[in-house]
Amino acid sequence: MSIVVASRSFARNPALRAELTARYPDATFTTSPTVLAGGELINFLRGHERAIVGLEQIDEAVLAQVPELRVISKYGVGLDGLDLDAIAARGVKLAWTGGVNRRSVSELTLAFAIALLHRVPESGATLRAGTWQPLVGRQLTGRTVGIIGCGFVGQDLVRLLAPFECRVLARDIRDYPEFYAGNLVEPVPLDRLLAEAEIVTLHVPLDASTRGMIGGAELARMRKGTFLINAARGGLVDEAALEAALASGHLAGAACDVYQLEPDANPRLLALPTFMGTPHIGGSSEEAQLAMGRAAIEGLESARLIGGGWPA
């Protein structure tokens, strides 16, 4: 069995390398400083039956050139880099484990919320500029938080918010009645969530139904002084509209861990004093990396053929 690891994050982790090679001594690891793509990715995958991939784009063009690849195991939880239709059509098995980085992402989201409310980005900028200007912020306790996407990460965030006695609104295409009832979460339509929440946070996958879901119209529905957090996928938010909402003061602040074009974060957003940005670190805690890596290792054996509607 020939194993190849295209994910840079996995390949750079000594513990994961050791665990994988203990099972598969001849595994090959990428040494590329950038995400493999196109011809480089095809050449790297060639001659291997099973692959662990992270941010690499696996589509029909790649699969057509590597017919020997029969198993793909995903390091991480995002599926937007994988052409599921092409994978299914070619009979390639896929392994994916949802929610393995949930605590890491939910903790970062909570940190964003507290930092924005206490005006940490603005205070830090003025202090670095040589001005001592204590700014008056707000507490998270008692705020109304709107969670768009109440799956693995969204539900974990609800649990983290419990000590802060927040009113929590949720919008999801799926219904979680027992969870909502047990955690005092109010399921509401998106328009109502946007209109009532003081903090709006996104936790949905990126696909055709969610791409650009927060644009100018949605930002306008949010009450003046609201905060927006996106630690899910960059394509969910229209960055030009977000920039305008922050510049005008309609939004009090925003935090993003993800961007429309990565690794090129939006410089206009980063220049705004009410914006807080990080370079896609939500799932990069040591604990999350190990959990994602171990799931990917197990997936080399547990991968299965996929069909319409996968993953369930």
**Which amino acid, one-letter code, is at 11?**
A
Distances 244 to 167, 180, 217, 275 between C-alpha atoms, Å: 28, 34, 12, 12
120-128 vs 102-117: helix crossing angle, rounded to 10: 60
162: number of Cβ within 10 Å: 11
CB 37 within 8 A of CB 103: no
Distances 84 to 79, 88, 90 between C-alpha atoms, Å: 8, 6, 10
CB 63 within 8 A of CB 87: yes
Catalytic residue among 50, 102, 203, 280: 280
Catalytic residue among 50, 102, 203, 233: 233
Q: Two tokens at 8? A: 């840079």
Give DSSP secondary structure letters for 50-62: EEEESS--B-HHH
Catalytic residue among 165, 262, 286, 301: 262
* Residue 196 known to be catalytic: no
* Residue 280 known to be catalytic: yes
**DSSP conformational letter for 79:** -
| Catalytic residue IDs | 233, 262, 280
